[in-house]
Structure 1
Amino acid sequence: MYTFRLNLKRISIWILLLTQILLILSYFFLQVAPTEPKSDIKISFLKSNDDVKDATATYHTLNTNIILKSVSTKHSYIDFNSSLCFKSGTDLISMKISKEINWKCKCLPGWHGNDCGQPEVLWRAMIASRKPIKIKGPRTFERRLIYFFEVDRYSEYVADIRINELGDIVDLFILYEDRGSNYLQSKLNNKFYKEYQDKILYIQDKREHLWKKVKTRLKNLRNDDIILSSNLNEIPNRDALTFLKFYDQWPQPIKFRFRWSVFGFFWMHPSRTIISGGACTVSFLKEMFNNKLSLLTDNKTLSSQVYKGIILGDLNHYGGWFCEYCNDPAQVVEFLASKPKNVINWDRIDKQKIDNSYIEDLIENGVYIDGKTQLIKARKYRDSYFAPRFVNEHNWRYDFLLTNFYSKLDYYEG
């Protein structure tokens, strides 16, 4: 009897032990992978049967179907009693500490409008146009912004600036280069612009063919989405672009008066500005330009009485920056050597003398590439439009574009 009780006790212990083992095994085999957190990225991609993509790449090609995400504008505004104020343009600190009831938004310097949502450059452009303009907004959802621009080996620094400057407000970058060139593709494969590669669609083609190909891949494109295009070395004003995303009934097409910087932001061309680039809605591009991007960036469009667009920027408040020859001297020499006579006026320049030393002397003394035209010195600490915001905030990264290292005076001041 004693032996029987002892065996029964042992059997019970073994049963408990086996039960515990089975429970542990069940936990590991039946464990469900945790759900991944939702991403804040404004673009999601649907894979189709024809998707063929390098597993190591994170940028996108024409083999990808693209869905642009709708984003509410409410996160960009704050309600003070009866006043709805744009956060970036409103003096929030002053309004929050005010003991009296806030019935009106208090705008920061450089911002205008009842909700402080109009940046200076846009506000001045509407006044200068002398046209009846009734801006409506803010919208419930942001317009999606699709930005086309070319990248080559001589525009790498400026391309890096504009992607970082505009990366949080542009929904899709269309970066392109000529057929037969793989410079940009090689850079992308090496994680160039890695923070925003999920927002980049890479294409090898001419600008005139791009929109026809791209729009077939945008599966939820809306007529009020914005198409933006500009040339090499141009950086549009981010505040102005943000306004276009948030408001309705602005004149179309939009052109940009860029500040004309040379060699870096420390020198300005005596002409001071250059008009270039263009922005409009998807429906305007189709109805007025027959889907031709080249007409959007053609300055002749504004001279036509058909269009009622405006130019963003004047001689003191710029619609962005055009940074010409913003490279190291060796790359400037290589760039000039690659251009034919019909692009560079070689009659005014002795091509034989163009070398690193020649370019360094021009940069030091503030002389244009022709060796004759005197440039205007820009003041870093006095000029609010000296350089794009991202450049100023990351001056260690673009120091050679902010300080003239070939001038001893500028070097020690910088």
Structure 2
Amino acid sequence: MKMRRYKLFLMFCMAGLCLISFLHFFKTLSYVTFPRELASLSPNLVSSFFWNNAPVTPQSSPEPGSPDLLRTPLYSHSPLLQPLSPSKAAEELHRMNFVLPEDTTEYFVRTKAGGVCFKPGTKMLEKPPSGRPEEKAEAGEGSSARGPARHLLSTRERSGGRGGRRKWVECVCLPGWHGPSCGVPTVVQYSNLPTKERLVPREVPRRVINAININHEFDLLDVRFHELGDVVDAFVVCESNFTAYGEPRPLKFREMLTNGTFEYIRHKVLYVFLDHFPLGGRQDGWIADDYLRTFLTQDGVSRLRNLRPDDVFIIDDADEIPARDGVLFLKLYDGWTEPFAFHMRKSLYGFFWKQPGTLEVVSGCTVDMLQTVYGLDGIRLRRRQYYTMPNFRQYENRTGHILVQWSLGSPLHFAGWHCSWCFTPEGIYFKLVSAQNGDFPRWGDYEDKRDLNYIRSLIRTGGWFDGTQQEYPPANPSEHMYAPKYLLKNYDQFRYLLDNPYQEPKSTAAGGRRSKGPEGRPLARGKLDVVEG
């Protein structure tokens, strides 16, 4: 009997030693780079062992004794992006963490008169305007000897409650900026935000995380990086080795990150690699479409360090580009509600085919709301009403904030751009064959729709794949919010997005010349004749 007990005891000890050895074996593997041949056998196995899902680290408090200035972002390089050897760069990219930097750039200035002014939105005056007394920046005798003072503030007198006079300090705003501090852009001033009177500048700015899934929208991604590069603190970009239809595809964006194509913004990019296709995604394309955003959010946020609950999270499609001023407002102000959407200018095939109305998609909230209400699921943020989520009331009670959805911009004031199917004919062909199997009819299944000449005719006329010819309003290249500024500054490089490449006005066809505006782009034109051929 004793011998049997000893044998059982020894068997348990041996099993325990085997288990410990097994665990140490895989711990050792976590420090060794798998050969590509082994990694390709089971990407799910590799990802489960190598992808770091540790919780975010707490933020260090700001240093005391800082000058009397409100701080906003310093775009320093993250420890994430220390140089890697070329052989390790491609292997390590999807496992690296990203440390969000603290923001220290001075966007606001606090004056001795007690005002707080947003520097880019405040008019710098050399002398007080006529009929309005000014609060001098520096009082006292002899100030005039130092030259004309530059004034940020104006003071107005208003009647007090007991017949007295009360001075009210305000900043002098430049066109396009509003509010006492001149930091509220037009897209917020004319939005449906219900708490405009409660907006106040923050002492410490939020960090902004912009999450995107990428397929082959590399030109629009380049435009996004230039439009938002100085206000977004981390671009979380997800790429898969499968298309939304489930076919293999090359990791082109990872190649562009490592070969220096996006070197100017590399220090702000967190690369997410989706190495598998969801079960059932081929039969039901919406499964794959939803899973892309779920994986992007969960893997990306889990690898962000120094994240605060009140940081801003924005998830976009690759063809949706928010305007810089609206994103900067979210970063620098308290008092707005959540979740929020953007009214975006809609266009098809290029910015030259403007569509009626705006695209309004809920795409942002704080990190706290993303985790508590939406369960760290980006597709819920975009497609689910917050009041249908089980934890929204708990979030309201804990934070003391009443959740009210609102939208930056309006149908008359665009807060971004949505450029659908904005590619060359070859790019549209690739989009057709890559599209998910759920948004029917799936035009990529029809051979005649994939013909490049047919695609060129659609770009020329603005028609759709079902044969309809919609009447779009004439796009005016000189109109406000026609396209992101980076596109307009590089007109020749992105001409296929800004000027219809398959349509010419009568004056050009007859040998005339089209006038150009001050930035070298064509001036507004009326409805163009269709060129056959």
Which bracket does the TM-score occupy, shorter chain normalised? 0.7 to 0.9
> What is the CA distance between 1:302 and its match in structure 2?
7.8
Pairing 1:287–2:362 present? no
Instruction: Please state whether the residue corresponding to 2:334 is helix, strand or coil.
Output: coil
Structure 2 vs 1, CA of residues 43 and 296 (structure 1 numbering), >3 Å: closer, same or farther?
Answer: farther
Corresponding residue of 1:241: 327
Structure 2 matches for 1:10-21, cutoff 5 A? none
Q: Matches of 1:333 and 1:348 in 2, distance apart?
A: 8
> What is the CA distance between 1:253 and its match in structure 2?
0.7
Instruction: Please state whether the residue corresponding to 1:229 is helix, strand or coil.
Output: strand
> Which one of 290, 293, 314 corresponds to residue 228 of structure 1?
314
> Which one of 401, 408, 411 corresponds to residue 312 of structure 1?
408
Structure 2 matches for 1:13-412, cutoff 5 A? 41-45=75-79, 54=86, 57=89, 61-72=93-104, 74-77=106-109, 79=111, 81-92=113-124, 95-98=125-128, 101=134, 102-103=153-154, 104-125=170-191, 128-129=192-193, 131-153=194-216, 155-180=217-242, 181=249, 182-205=251-274, 206-270=292-356, 272-298=357-383, 300-301=385-386, 307-339=403-435, 342-345=438-441, 351-352=447-448, 354-374=450-470, 375-381=472-478, 383-409=479-505, 412=514
Q: Is the 8 A contact 1:149 1:231 kept in 2?
A: yes
Residues 367-387 of structure 1 show CA distances to partners (whole Å, capped at 9, x for unaligned) of 234331413321111x21111
> What is the CA distance between 1:134 and its match in structure 2?
4.4
TM-score (norm 2): 0.62
Q: Matches of 1:388 and 1:192 in 2, distance apart?
A: 20
One-letter code of the match for 2:128? S
Q: Is the 8 A contact 2:231 2:328 kept in 1?
A: yes
> What is the CA distance between 1:159 and its match in structure 2?
1.0
Q: Is the 8 A contact 1:60 1:200 kept in 2?
A: no
Instruction: Please state whether the residue corresponding to 2:488 is helix, strand or coil.
Output: helix
One-letter code of the match for 2:300? V
Q: Is the 8 A contact 2:435 2:442 kept in 1?
A: no
Structure 2 vs 1, CA of residues 267 and 79 (structure 1 numbering), >3 Å: closer, same or farther?
Answer: farther
Q: Matches of 1:124 and 1:80 in 2, distance apart?
A: 31
Q: Matches of 2:267 and 2:420 in 1, distance apart?
A: 28
Corresponding residue of 1:32: none
Structure 2 vs 1, CA of residues 348 and 66 (structure 1 numbering), >3 Å: closer, same or farther?
Answer: closer
Moved more, 68-77 or 276-285: 68-77
- CA RMSD of superposed structures (Å): 3.2
Q: Matches of 2:263 and 2:332 in 1, distance apart?
A: 27
> What is the CA distance between 1:329 and its match in structure 2?
1.4
Residues 88-111 of structure 1 show CA distances to partners (whole Å, capped at 9, x for unaligned) of 22233xx23436524232222222
Q: Is the 8 A contact 1:59 1:197 kept in 2?
A: no
Structure 2 vs 1, CA of residues 46 and 315 (structure 1 numbering), >3 Å: closer, same or farther?
Answer: closer
* Uncovered stretches (5+) of structure 1, i.e. residues with no partner: 1-39
TM-score (norm 1): 0.78
Q: Is the 8 A contact 2:343 2:358 kept in 1?
A: yes
Q: Count residues in correspondence.
A: 366
Instruction: Please state whether the residue corresponding to 1:211 is helix, strand or coil.
Output: helix
Structure 2 vs 1, CA of residues 185 and 132 (structure 1 numbering), >3 Å: closer, same or farther?
Answer: closer
Structure 2 vs 1, CA of residues 213 and 361 (structure 1 numbering), >3 Å: closer, same or farther?
Answer: closer
> What is the CA distance between 1:365 and its match in structure 2?
2.5
> What is the CA distance between 1:363 and its match in structure 2?
2.2
Q: Matches of 1:66 and 1:342 in 2, distance apart?
A: 34
Structure 2 vs 1, CA of residues 68 and 249 (structure 1 numbering), >3 Å: closer, same or farther?
Answer: same
Structure 2 vs 1, CA of residues 243 and 58 (structure 1 numbering), >3 Å: closer, same or farther?
Answer: farther
One-letter code of the match for 2:271? Y
> What is the CA distance between 1:47 and its match in structure 2?
9.1
